[in-house]
Structure 1
């Protein structure tokens, strides 16, 4: 039996990224209001935000948030090759929905919130993720998570995208 390209196996757990995206779309639809701006965390969150923007028929472009300058492990990681922050709207007073692929420790979300507030003071910031996993180190939680999974601390879970735009997961031992 072969695993479909959109699925990843972790022990006996099968994660189908495309099925989870459909669930995320449903959840984001309930969170979005007419003036909500979608902002993705580079890079998996940006891919989700771009696809959601199109699937929801929203105007404008999605925002991009980079965690690079606000990471607490900057000395070890340095400047990652991730995208730079791009926000083509006024952050002050905005209703922002931040999107990410995997919420793990909470440190990336903390970093991008610091980055976001460098651009202004939004009226509201919410978080939606494809997968929320165990291992939180900071008191950060998603307003919507398409799935919650428990993985070994030695496992890494990341969203990947094919050239055609379909999603799948990479699970590996670290």
Structure 2
């Protein structure tokens, strides 16, 4: 019987700092928030996108749109590709000509982000697409990199990253999990 080792690598305060930094970087890179939309990848990416949007509102005094992106149909490992497409909530808004920031909790192999890119393109041709992730853990299988990173945590393939958010898990923290 294997035991599971759990090591906290990011606490709530560090997560807050990382999201504040990401928010400032998004505003800076775009020279403001004009024509900007955040698309959170379900599930935890949606909550992170809303947190970033709240910070932008506090800083810029304006609300920006947050879309919820469901990439399950677009995944290359999805057996049920004949299922009906459901990419975005918010009654299939278009992102044509807008600056899109895809938000997710962890960047690992790049396959989820590849699926997210396909989903976003189906909504219209954006002006620019950025990627914001709370954790970049390395081990890419596809040539994808994040524009905005909360924290780089290099891991082996035997390890797992567990992101906990208050909205779902009642606490903000990031753990590395490993069988020992």
TM-score bucket (shorter structure): 0.7 to 0.9
1:25-174 mapped onto 2 (5 Å cutoff):
25-32=20-27, 33-35=32-34, 36-57=36-57, 58-75=62-79, 85-87=88-90, 89-163=93-167, 166-173=171-178
CA distance in 1, matches of 2:124, 2:167: 35
TM-score by length of 2: 0.77
Long gaps (5+) in structure 1: 1-7
Q: Distance in 2 between matches of 1:172 and 1:77?
A: 31
Residues 21 and 146 of structure 1 are in contact (CA less than 8 Å); yes or no, is this contact kept in structure 2? no
What is the RMSD of the two structures over their aligned residues, measured on CA atoms?
A: 2.7
**Which structure carries more helix by proportion?**
2
Question: Secondary structure of 1:141's match?
Answer: coil
- Please state how far the C-alpha of 1:50 moved relative to its aligned partner: 0.7
Q: Is residue 42–residue 70 contact of structure 2 (8 Å, CA) maintained in 1?
A: yes
Deviations 1:133-173 (A, max 9, x none): 12100000000111111112122213222359652224434
Q: How many residues align?
A: 161
Name 2:3's counterpart in structure 1.
none
* Equivalent pair of 1:101/1:158 in contact (CA under 8 Å): no
The alignment partner of 2:119 has SS state of helix
In the alignment, structure 2 segments of 5+ residues that lack a partner are 1-5
Larger radius of gyration: 2
Measure, in 1, the Cα distance between the counterparts of 2:21 and 2:46: 18
- Pick from 7, 10, 24: which aligns with 1:9? 7
Call closer, same or farther: CA 1:40–1:163 in 2, change over 3 Å: closer
